[in-house]
Structure 1
Amino acid sequence: MTPPSSTPPFDAPFEGDLGADLELALRIADAADAASMDRFDAADLEVSLKADASHVTEADLATERAIRAVIEVERPDDGVFGEEYGVTGDSNRQWIVDPIDGTANYLKGIPMWTTLIALSIDGVPRVGVASQPAIGRRWWAATGLGAWTNTPSGAPKRLAVSTVDTIADSSVSFQSIGQWRDAGKLDALERLTSSVWRDRGYGDAWPYMLLAEGRLEFVAEFGVKEYDIAALVPIVTEAGGRFTSYDGHDSLSERSSLATNRVLHDPFLALLHSP
Structure 2
Amino acid sequence: MSLHSSPYTEDLRLAHMIADSVDSQTMQSFNAQDFEVETKPDLTPVTVADRQAEEYIRAQLSRARGRDAVYGEEFGSSGSGPRRWVIDPIDGTKNFIRGVPVWATLIALMDHGEPVVGLVSAPALGRRWWAAKDGGAYTGKSLSSAKQLRVSKVSRIEDANFSYSSLYGWREAGRSKNFLEFTDTVWRTRAFGDFWSYCLVAEGVVDVAAEPELNLHDMAALVPIVQEAGGRFTSLDGDPGCSGSNGLATNGLLHEAAMGALALDSATPIQD
TM-score where L is the length of structure 1? 0.91
1:237 partner amino acid: Q
2:94 — aligned with what?
A: 104
Looking at structure 2, the residues matched to 91 and 35 of structure 1 have their Cα atoms a distance apart, in angstroms, of 30
Q: How many pairs align?
A: 260
Instruction: Determine which structure has greater relative contact order: mean sequence separation of CA pairs < 8 Å that are 6+ residues apart, divided by chain length.
Output: 1
**1:177 and 2:158 equivalent?**
no
**1:195 and 2:203 equivalent?**
no
**1:118 and 2:97 equivalent?**
no
Secondary structure of 2:192's aligned partner = coil
Looking at structure 1, the residues matched to 6 and 98 of structure 2 have their Cα atoms a distance apart, in angstroms, of 42
2:85 to 88, 95, 102: 95
Deviation at 1:239, TM superposition (A): 0.3
Sort the Cα spacing of 1:101 and 1:44 in 2 relative to 1 into closer, same or farther, 3 A.
Answer: same
Greater mean alpha carbon deviation, residues 254-263 or residues 244-253: 244-253
Looking at structure 2, the residues matched to 211 and 252 of structure 1 have their Cα atoms a distance apart, in angstroms, of 16
After TM superposition, the structure 1 = structure 2 runs for residues 27-66 of structure 1, keeping only pairs within 5 Å, are 27-66=17-56
Q: Which runs of 5 or more residues in structure 1 are unaligned?
A: 1-14
Q: Which runs of 5 or more residues in structure 2 are unaligned?
A: 267-272
2:200 partner amino acid: L
TM-score where L is the length of structure 2? 0.92
Looking at structure 1, the residues matched to 198 and 85 of structure 2 have their Cα atoms a distance apart, in angstroms, of 20
Deviations 1:125-163 (A, max 9, x none): 0000000011210000001000000179x8310000000
Looking at structure 1, the residues matched to 233 and 156 of structure 2 have their Cα atoms a distance apart, in angstroms, of 18
Secondary structure of 1:202's aligned partner = coil
Secondary structure of 1:52's aligned partner = coil
- Whether the aligned pair in 1 keeps the contact of 2:208 and 2:250 (CA below 8 Å) is yes
The root-mean-square deviation of aligned C-alpha atoms, in Å, is 1.7
1:137 — aligned with what?
A: 127
Deviation at 1:41, TM superposition (A): 3.3
Deviation at 1:164, TM superposition (A): 0.5
Deviations 1:60-110 (A, max 9, x none): 011101111110100000000000111000111000010000001111111
Deviation at 1:201, TM superposition (A): 1.0
**1:223 and 2:213 equivalent?**
yes
- Whether the aligned pair in 2 keeps the contact of 1:80 and 1:88 (CA below 8 Å) is yes
Secondary structure of 2:31's aligned partner = coil
- Whether the aligned pair in 2 keeps the contact of 1:47 and 1:55 (CA below 8 Å) is yes
Deviations 1:197-246 (A, max 9, x none): 00111111001111100001101102211000000000000000000001
- Whether the aligned pair in 2 keeps the contact of 1:240 and 1:262 (CA below 8 Å) is yes
